[in-house]
Chain A
Amino acid sequence: MKLDKRITLLCGHYGSGKTNVAVNMALMLKKQYEKVTVADLDIVNPYFRTKDSSQIFNDAGIKLICSEFANSNVDIPALPQEMYSITDDTSHRVLIDVGGDDRGALALGRLAPAIIKENDYEMLMVINKYRPLTRNVADTLEVMGEIEFACGIKFTGLVNNSNLGEETTADDVLNSLEYANGVSKATGLALIATTFKESLNSELCEKVPMPLALTLQDKIL
């Protein structure tokens, strides 16, 4: 997968696996670029945050910007002042983990004018056919429209991360291709990756478009 824009915005409905994809993409970016920053802009969900992976980022030399209240059990929708460095400091490659729906994406609106002005970004929608509110093309388009409206930036690509958690089989991924193509066709957006857990790599790497094996998995409770 090629990530050649300075800013990569990852959006996706809650439970799409967006944060897991973000962690994996950040490590890929770090292999190509010296300075990599991950910014967690989720102001809605107090659980399952990019911050869960702060140790991984630290070890890899990736900078993490997130609310000081993330994972603190303090339910406060706050963002750190450091978030302005996303657009002020253009020496970094930045991957932004955007909140899961229109309310979550609202926080991005603050940065949208600067991101659009710089015009060196990719905004990706992470889709999962197995989530109840994005089970078909029409529902997915609705969610995408709401996110675009809330943050003021248009999508430029799609990541098909359709999965059923730990139990995901190769067939589950293969059965999602028609859906992902449908979203791609309806939006005119390119599918830039089809993701799956690494253990399915040998089964899937030649059968899906733009395969991307995820080496890290969300921790399971």
Chain B
Amino acid sequence: MADKVLMKGNEAIAEAAIIAGCRHYFGYPITPQTEIAAYMAKKMPKIGGVFLQAESEIAAINMVYGVAAAGKRVMTSSSSPGISLKSEGLSYLAGSDLPALVVNVQRGGPGLGGIQPSQSDYFQATRGSGHGDYHMIVLAPSSVQEMAELTVKGFELADTYRMTSMILADGTMGQMMEPVSLDLEVKPAPEKPWATVGTKLQRKHNIVNSLSLVPEELEKFNFERYERYNYIKENEAMYEEYLMDDAEYAIAAFGITSRVAKNAINEARKQGIKVGMIRPITLWPFPVAPFKKAADKVKAIISVELSMGQMIDDVKLATECKVPVTLCNRVGGMIVSPEQVLEAIKAVAENGGAK
């Protein structure tokens, strides 16, 4: 077993980013993710990297744009209200096909909300967040170890597809401490012949830009981008199945709620209810295949979320509404309890899945 350290989720993201070769961090502090910035402020100067606390979230995301255009691995992090501010920049990154990593350690909203955990930025993350037709690759860790591993994966996917990867965590995941192995495998970053690093007067200059005034051209860019998105949907969806082989009921949950749901599932199994779980690890692309398969054998699905019901829409789309899908949720910074999830399981089991 590799050497383990005790880390907060936020610290694991920061350290994994450094291991992945990120030497440029730009951010603006906000609870509950400030440890990422604090860690970078301590570490980056020691390894020849850049930590810069920008004057605002908007400034930070545009600094990310600049470094991404120069072909270097770069990141920013924030929490829900700060991500809203960064959304313009996220759209520009997409329009310019630039790779970057953005972390959202979600807190309760809307508005300034509170500082306790939430998953209510699911729509914002999976539907783009800024304006225009685009997607980000959205990764949802459910342990501190996964916070580290998916950060590395996020950089790799971003570089491969010239997209923004977003780590969508929550206040609990950011603050909780678990032992982590930092023995992370990192693939070398691909060549970036498009990067604006100077021509040395030996080639035509590269242009990084999201402005297209010719409609035919802009349409072509959008079509091409969506061909790439379709390829990603086919090839990059990640998920974990838990006790789904004989399941009559299924839970859909990601991140912190999947941990709570696991406890409830174990208890329900003791009481004779055959229930399993599909845990999406990529929220975009959404893992459609396991839900499609489940729709033909389970009687009902329960979506467990810290929102008013956002992922539930993707579950319904993936299952083509073949089975009833119910919501088990808490919001405002509250977390669902194993007892609440168990009650929800019993409720659907009692009437055989019928609504």
Q: Which A residues lie at the B interface, using CB under 8 A?
A: 14-15, 46-48, 73, 75, 128, 130-133, 135, 163-165, 167, 221
Contacts and interface: CB of A to CB of B under 8 A. Distances in A.
A47 B177 contact: no
Interface in B121-172: 172
Nearest to B107: A73
B260 to A, nearest CB: 10
Given A75-B31, A132-B11, A132-B15, A47 B6 contact: no
Contacts of B32: 47
B116 A131 contact: no
Given A73-B116, A75-B115, A15 B42 contact: no
B8 interface: yes
Contacts of A47: 32, 175
Contacts of A165: 6, 177-179
Contacts of A164: 4-6, 179
Give me the 4 closest cross-chain CB pairs, A-B, nearest first. Answer: A164-B179, A130-B6, A221-B176, A164-B6
Nearest to A103: B38
A198 B5 CA distance: 21
Interface string B161-201: 00000000000100111110000000000000000000000
B6 A15 contact: yes
B31 A15 contact: no
B31 A131 contact: no
B333 interface: yes
Interface in B7-58: 7-8, 11, 15, 31-32, 35, 39, 42
Nearest to B173: A221
A130 B6 CA distance: 5
A57 B171 CA distance: 27
B4 A73 contact: no
16 contacts: A14-B35, A15-B7, A73-B116, A73-B333, A75-B31, A75-B115, A130-B5, A131-B5, A132-B7, A132-B15, A135-B5, A163-B6, A164-B4, A164-B6, A164-B179, A221-B175
Contacts of B11: 132
Given A15-B6, A75-B115, A130 B179 contact: yes
B114 interface: yes
The A interface is mostly helix, strand or loop, or mixed, namely loop
A89 to B, nearest CB: 34
Contacts of A135: 5
Contact of A133 (B31, B42, B175): B42
A73 B108 CA distance: 11
Interface size class on chain B is 20 to 34
Given A46-B31, A130-B4, A132-B11, 16 more contacts: A15-B177, A73-B114, A73-B115, A73-B333, A75-B31, A75-B115, A128-B6, A130-B179, A131-B6, A132-B5, A132-B15, A133-B42, A163-B6, A164-B4, A165-B177, A167-B179
A165 B116 CA distance: 22
A14 B7 CA distance: 10
Contacts of B5: 130-132, 135, 164
Contacts of A48: 175
Nearest to A75: B31
Nearest to B32: A47
A46 B35 CA distance: 12
A80 B338 CA distance: 37
Nearest to B256: A221
A131 B178 CA distance: 10
B16 to A, nearest CB: 11
A73 B115 CA distance: 6
B172 A221 contact: yes
A91 to B, nearest CB: 37
A46 to B, nearest CB: 6
Contacts of B177: 15, 165
A5 B75 CA distance: 48
Tell which of B39, B115, B333 has the most Cβ of chain A within 10 Å.
Answer: B115
A133 B35 CA distance: 12
A75 B35 CA distance: 14
Interface in B236-277: none
A211 to B, nearest CB: 21
A73 B333 CA distance: 10
A219 B172 CA distance: 13
A110 to B, nearest CB: 23
Contacts of A73: 114-116, 333
A48 to B, nearest CB: 7
Contacts of A131: 5-7
A15 B8 contact: yes
Contacts of B4: 130, 164
